[in-house]
Amino acid sequence: MIEAQSLTKIFKDKKRGEIRAVDNVSFKAQPGQIYGLLGANGAGKTTTLRMLATILKPTSGTAKVVGHDIVDDPELVRSSVGFLSTATALYGRLTAQEFVEYFGRLHGMDNATMKARIDEIFKRLDMDEFRDRRCEKLSTGEKQKVSIARTLVHDPPVMIFDEPTIGLDVMTARTIVQFIRECRAQGKTVIFSTHVMSEVEKLCDTIGIIHNGKLLAEGTLAQFGERYGQQDMEEIFVKVVGE
């Protein structure tokens, strides 16, 4: 469960002055559901998700992630979250297994639990063949699997995906989409950001449209359809943003 309360992030830029990258954003994401943040590039999606993952500190406002406050208990929040974005790269000189183990240890797992967990994940994601290969030598698809394994190693109740499919080929992107669905099926709270309308239509239980740092509209696909007399997400998005 994620509950964002008036999240605001202001960046100071020498040339442009103050930028309100995220402006008073509040929403709730429920367990067993996928919350989709839809917005153009620079709308504030990444900043919002980075604040939820406590990589950035909010300027004002806060959020609760499975009950932990992102400002007061950032380390507890990070323990409960699996964070995946196209920017979260791998350590190329570690092997796939070493990489996942590193994060398992940082999550405070003991060796026996971690070994069992990693064996299980590697088997499920069909990764055994390349588990001892260095990450720099892996294909894009294999790298994505290693990243997924990293986010899963501590079995977090909350998953945050920041544009996870950007720049990936169709097959790799499908793996990710499939993975997001599995997370929901396991009852995890899932939040993910994208600017791809079709992904929103396919995946999301609740959709939030974010533009210029502000959350402009929120609802299920059906609710949006009723409100705007449209079934096409792209048309709905243009209408919301144009208002």
Partner 1 sequence: MDARNVGIVYRKELTDILRDRRTIISSILLPILLFPLLILGIGALATVVVRKATRESPTVMLKGEEHAPDLARRLRENKRLEVVAFRDDYVQQINDKKLRAVVEFPISFETNVREKPAEPQTIKIFHYEGELRSQAVLRWLEAAVKDYSESVVTQRLTAARVPTEVLNAFAVEKMNVASAEKVTGNILGMILPYFIIILCLTGAMVPAIDLTAGEKERGTIETILASPIGRGDLVLGKFLLVLLVSIVTTALSVLSFAGTVLIGGELLAKIQKSFVLAVSGKSIAVVFFMVVPLAATFSALLLAISLIARSYREAQSYLGPLIFIAILPGMASMLPGVELNPGLALVPVLNVSLVAKEIFAGQYHWNLIGLIFLSTCVWAALALYVAVRQFHREEVLFRM
Residue ranges binding partner 1 (CB under 8 A)? 11-12, 50, 53, 55-57, 75-76, 78-79, 81, 83, 85, 87-94, 98, 102-103, 105-108, 134, 150
Q: Is residue 66 helix, strand or coil?
A: coil
Q: Which of 2/207 has CB closer to partner 1?
A: 2
Tokens of 115: 């070994």
Extended beta strands in 30-96, E state: 34-38, 60-65, 68-69, 81-85
- Minimum CB separation of residue 108 from partner 1 in Å reads 7
Q: Which of 96/207 has CB closer to partner 1?
A: 96
Q: Which of 102/228 has CB closer to partner 1?
A: 102
- Minimum CB separation of residue 164 from partner 1 in Å reads 13
Of 241, 197, 193, 204, nearest to 50 (Cα)? Answer: 193
- Minimum CB separation of residue 53 from partner 1 in Å reads 5
Of 233, 195, 193, 152, nearest to 27 (Cα)? Answer: 193
- Minimum CB separation of residue 13 from partner 1 in Å reads 9
Q: Which of 90/190 has CB closer to partner 1?
A: 90
Query: Residue ranges of the alpha helices (H) in 94-231?
Result: 96-106, 111-124, 140-152, 170-185, 197-203, 221-228
